[in-house]
Structure 1
């Protein structure tokens, strides 16, 4: 499996974590998801996606939006970027 598709699987898992309907998890998950988004997607588009991810996870009833998967689709299907690493810390 290529790194591109490994990144897709990680994106789907992170979106599934964000769907967990417990309010105290959203308080922790919103900043963490924002941080992970900047690590997975570099540059300006990663920063914009991080802000969107934070807002989406912090606001009630928006948790069902698959932000990481949408960003993967945008990066690898629309913009057709190559994957260097899945997550760099």
Structure 2
């Protein structure tokens, strides 16, 4: 297993721990932090392990950050639809 996959596994553990801690802002600051760390990690995983493993990592990350993804999807539909 490559070091980039270990890094993604650590990102998943960090995301689970941060989700378990109570927050006043509904975890949005933590989500921004995880996105800022996760995007370069996703590129690294895709570069080292290929596009299929990168796609799996993207799906796993989106499952942890589902609300930012839902809001992004709604915003994109609103912008494209108007």
- TM-score normalised by L of structure 1: 0.42
Higher relative contact order (CA 8 A, sep 6+): 1
- TM-score normalised by L of structure 2: 0.44
